[in-house]
Structure 1
Amino acid sequence: MNAGIKRARHITFWTLALELVFAWLGPVIQIVVEIRTEGGVGWSRLVLVAVGLPVFSWLFLRVVRAAVDGRPAVREVVVSGALALTMMVLGAVLVADVPGVASAMLPFSWSTLTTTWTAVAVLGVSARTAVALTAGAAGVYVALDFLLLPGVGDQRTDLFFYLPMLALLPYSNRLWLWIYRMIIQVDEGRKAQAELAVTEERLRFARDLHDLVGHSLSAIAVKSELAVKLARAAPDQATEEMTAVRGLAKDALKEIREAVRGYRAIDLSAELGSVRAVLEAANIRCTLDLPERTPPGEAATLLAWVVREGATNTLRHSAATRSRVTLRLTGGTAVLEMVNDGVGEQSAADGGTGLIGLSERLAAAGGSLTARPTGSGEFVLRAVVPATDRAHVLTEAVAR
C-alpha cells in the first residue's frame, strides 16, 4: 500500500469515525440540560449512558474499520443495533415517572443514537439492504416515540428533525466509502498496467528467441538424424553432417548471445518515448527536457535502464500526478534526473533490487545513482554516467 492509499484510508476512516460524536451528543446534552434545570439526574440513567455508550462506540469503530478494509461486520452491526435498542427502551422506562426535561429530551437522544448506528450499518451492503436498514431504523424510532412516550413533546417536530438526518448522514458515509474504493481501484489499475508492460516485454523476448533458434534447432535435429543413418554406410559423409551440426550449434549460440545483448542494450530515445506514453496513459503528466543528442553506447543504455526503472517505480510506488525527465550533457558526463510529485513508500534504502542493481551497474561504469525525497513533496531519481561524445539526435527520435 503506497503513501497515497494510506493517506486516503486514514482520511476515510477518521471521517466516518468522527460521526461517533453524534451518538454522544444527544445523551450528553440531555444530561447537561437536566442538571441545569432540574438540579440533578438519576444515577441509573448515568450508569446506562456511562456503560452503554462506550461499548456502542467500540462496536461502531470496529464496523468502520471493517468497512474501510472491505470486510463484513455483520456481528458487530447486529450487536450494536441491539445495544442501541436496549438503551432506548431502558431510557424510556427510567424516565417514565420523571416528567419534564428528562422525558422531553429523550426523543432527541434516540434520534442521534439511531442515526449514528444507521450511518455505519449501511456501509458495505447493497443499496437495497441500505434502504431497508434505514427504513427499519426510522420505523423503530417512530414506534418507540409513539408507544413509550405518548403525549410527550411534539412527535411531528421530532420527525421533522430526525428524518432528514437519517436520510443524509448514512448515504454521505456510503459516498465517502465509494470514493475510497474508487481510489484503490485506480491504484490497482496502475499497478496492473506496469505489470502488463513487463509481461509484454517478456513475451516479446520469448518470441524473438523462438524465431532466432527455432530454425537452427530444427536443422540440427534433421542433420543429426541423417548423420546417425550414415554413420556405418558413409562415415565420411556422416562426419561432414556432424561438422555442419556443430557449425549450426555455434551459430545458434551466437544468435542467442546477440539477442540477450540486444535485449539488455535498450535504446534511450525509444525508452523515453515509451515511458512518456505509459505515464500519460496513467494520468501522470510527463515532461521531457532533453538535449539535441544522446550519450553514446553504454552510457545511453544505462540511462535507458534508469528511465525504465524510474517509470516503473513511479507507477507502482507513488501517487504522482506529474513527472519530469531532464537530461544534461556537460563535458564528459551525462546527468539524468526523474522528478515526480508523489513521494511513495519506496526509497533508495528500501526500494528493492531494482534500484540497488542499477546503482551497482552504474558504479561499475564509473557513474552513480541516488534516489531520495526532496523535502518539498517531490521525489528525485538522479543518475550520473561518463559520456565522451555525442552519437545521434535525440529529440527528433523521441518525437517520432
Structure 2
Amino acid sequence: MNMDQRLRAIGLWPSRRERSRSERVRRVTVWTLTGTVMLAWGGPLAGLGNTGQHNGGVLTPAMIAGLAGMVVFSVLYVRAMLAAVAGRRAVAEVALAGVITVVLMLTQDTETWTWGILGPAWAAMAVLGVTTSAAVLICAVTTVLSAVLISRGLPELPVLFTLGFICAVIPWANRFQLWLWEIVRAAEEGEEARARLAVTEERLRFARDLHDLVGHSLSAIAVKSEVATRLAATDDERAATEMAEVRTLARQALHELRGAVRGYRTVDLLAELRGVRAVLEAGGIRCALDPVPDGLPQDVATVLAWVAREGTTNVLRHSKAAHCRIGLTVRDGSAILEITNDGAGTPPADRTGAPGGNGSGLTGLTERVTSLGGTLTTRGTGDHFHLSAAVPLRGAQ
C-alpha cells in the first residue's frame, strides 16, 4: 500500500470520486494559486546563475542570503494563498513578503527578468482579498517601485512597460481564479441554505396541518370531558352521553391523524427519482435515469421511492462510484426497480430479501418490500453493485 492509499484509508486524502464538486474546485484553486510561486523562482534562479558564472561557480554570502530570502518569501506566499482561499486576508504575510522583496531587489544583481520578477510576484499575493481599485493601485505602485529598484534611479520606459505587462497578467489571473472559487463556494452555501429552509418550511407545514386536523377535536374532547366530570355526581345518563361523544371525537381525531401521517409517508415516485439523480450528480456521480412507466399503484410507487432513496444513500455513503444507473420496468406482473453503480469495490455476497443483511437501511427496505409480497436483491459483480426490488402489482392499492 503506497502513501496515497494509506492517507485515503484514514480519510486524510480522499480519492477523486469521494470529493464533492466544490472540494475539487477548491483543490484546483489552491494548487493553481500556490503553484504561481514557481514563477517567482524563475527570475532569481536565473540571476543567481549569472552571478555564479561571474564568481567562477562559488556561492557568495549574498547568493546564500538571496536563496534564504526566497525560501522565506515562498512560505509567506503559500500561507497568503491558503488564507485567501479560506476567505481571509493575510496582512502580516503580505507585509513581511513586501519587505523581503525590497531587500532582495536592493541587495542582489537585479534585472527585469531576474530579481525584478519578485515585484509582480509580490503583487500577485497582495491583490487578493482587496477591492478592484485597491488592486489597480497595488499593481501600479509595484510596477513603478520595481522599475526604480531595477534602474537604481529614474526608471526606463522599456522596464516600466515590461513590469506593467507582468503585473497586468499574473496578479489578475490569481484574482480571477479566486473569484471562480468564491462563486462555487457561494453557490454551495446557497444550496445548503435552501435545503435547510425547505426542511424548516416542511416542519412548519406539518405543524399547521396537525393543528388544523386535531386541534379542534382535542379542544372539544377537553370541554366535554369537563362537562362529564361535573355531571357525574348529578346525572349519570347525561355524563355517559358526554363520554360517548368524547370517545367518538377521540376516534375521529385518531383517524384524521393516521390519514395525515399516511399522506406524508406517500411520496411521488417520479419526483423522488429525479431528486435522487440530482443528489448523485451533485456528489460527482453521473446518473442515468430510464423513463418511468405511468399508472403504478400508490403503495407500490411509495415503496419503490423508499428503495430509490435508501439505495442512493448507500451509493453516496458506502461506495466510490463514478456512474450510476436507475431503471424501472414492469414485467411479469411486477414493478422492478434496479440501481447499479460501479463503486462496489470488494463485492459482497448475494442477498435476497434477507432481513439480516448488512445495515439497518437494507433491513428496513426488505421489510417494506416484503410487506407487499415483493423481494429485495443485492449482488456484487466485480466493481459493480446491483440492487433490485420487485413488487407485485396484483392486490396493491
Please classify the TM superposition score into its range, dividing by the shorter chain length.
0.7 to 0.9
Residue number among 121, 127, 133 corresponding to 1:122 in the alignment: 127
Structure 1: segments with no counterpart, 5+ residues? 92-102, 349-354, 393-400
Matches within 5 A, 1:274-313: 287-294=289-296, 296=297, 298-308=299-309
Is 1:261 the equivalent of 2:265? no
**Cα separation, partners in 2 of 1:269 and 1:83, compared to 1, 3 Å:** closer
CA-atom RMSD, angstroms? 4.1
Matches within 5 A, 1:126-165: 126-146=131-151, 149-150=152-153, 155-165=156-166
Deviation at 1:193?
3.5
Is 1:81 the equivalent of 2:98? yes
The residue number in structure 1 matching 2:179 is 178
Deviation at 1:82?
1.3
Q: 8 Å contact 2:311–2:387 — kept in the other structure?
A: no
Deviation at 1:39?
3.3
**Cα separation, partners in 2 of 1:374 and 1:265, compared to 1, 3 Å:** farther
Q: Percent identity?
A: 41
Deviation at 1:182?
0.9
The residue number in structure 2 matching 1:238 is 239
> Quick one: distance in 1 between partners of 2:395 and 2:270?
12
**Cα separation, partners in 2 of 1:198 and 1:383, compared to 1, 3 Å:** farther
SS of 1:170's equivalent in the other structure is helix
Deviation at 1:215?
1.9
Residues 309-348 of structure 1, C-alpha deviations (whole Å, 9 max, x = no match):
5778999999x9998642023436543245799x9xxxx9
Residues 87-142 of structure 1, C-alpha deviations (whole Å, 9 max, x = no match):
22222xxxxxxxxxxx4x53433421111111011112222322232233223213
Residue number among 357, 378, 388 corresponding to 1:384 in the alignment: 388
The amino acid of 2:393's aligned partner reads: D
Deviation at 1:191?
3.0
Structure 2: segments with no counterpart, 5+ residues? 1-17, 349-357
> Quick one: distance in 1 between partners of 2:381 and 2:30?
27
Is 1:67 the equivalent of 2:67? no
SS of 1:289's equivalent in the other structure is coil
**Cα separation, partners in 2 of 1:300 and 1:200, compared to 1, 3 Å:** same
Q: 8 Å contact 1:27–1:109 — kept in the other structure?
A: yes
Q: Which has the higher mean CA deviation after the structures are superposed, 249-258 or 208-217? A: 249-258
Deviation at 1:43?
0.4
The amino acid of 1:139's aligned partner reads: V
The count of aligned residue pairs is 359
Deviation at 1:232?
3.4
Deviation at 1:59?
0.8
> Quick one: distance in 2 between partners of 1:374 and 1:183?
35
Q: 8 Å contact 1:191–1:316 — kept in the other structure?
A: no
Matches within 5 A, 1:1-400: 2-36=19-53, 39-40=56-57, 43-91=60-108, 103=109, 105-146=110-151, 149-150=152-153, 155-269=156-270, 271-272=272-273, 287-294=289-296, 296=297, 298-308=299-309, 325-331=326-332, 334-337=335-338, 358-364=361-367, 365-366=369-370, 367-368=375-376, 383-389=387-393
SS of 2:128's equivalent in the other structure is coil
Deviation at 1:286?
7.7
Higher relative contact order (CA 8 A, sep 6+): 1
Q: Which has the higher mean CA deviation after the structures are superposed, 8-17 or 261-270? A: 261-270
> Quick one: distance in 2 between partners of 1:127 and 1:31?
35
Q: 8 Å contact 1:63–1:73 — kept in the other structure?
A: yes
> Quick one: distance in 1 between partners of 2:144 and 2:381?
55
Q: 8 Å contact 2:341–2:386 — kept in the other structure?
A: no
Deviation at 1:382?
5.5
> Quick one: distance in 2 between partners of 1:161 and 1:36?
26
**Cα separation, partners in 2 of 1:68 and 1:277, compared to 1, 3 Å:** closer
Q: 8 Å contact 1:286–1:323 — kept in the other structure?
A: yes
> Quick one: distance in 2 between partners of 1:155 and 1:374?
68
Q: 8 Å contact 1:289–1:325 — kept in the other structure?
A: no
> Quick one: distance in 2 between partners of 1:124 and 1:360?
51
Deviation at 1:83?
1.4
Q: 8 Å contact 1:290–1:327 — kept in the other structure?
A: yes
**Cα separation, partners in 2 of 1:34 and 1:190, compared to 1, 3 Å:** same
> Quick one: distance in 2 between partners of 1:373 and 1:2?
24
**Cα separation, partners in 2 of 1:323 and 1:234, compared to 1, 3 Å:** same
Q: 8 Å contact 1:77–1:121 — kept in the other structure?
A: yes
SS of 2:111's equivalent in the other structure is helix
**Cα separation, partners in 2 of 1:68 and 1:137, compared to 1, 3 Å:** same
> Quick one: distance in 2 between partners of 1:198 and 1:338?
27
Deviation at 1:263?
1.9
Deviation at 1:29?
0.6
Deviation at 1:20?
0.7
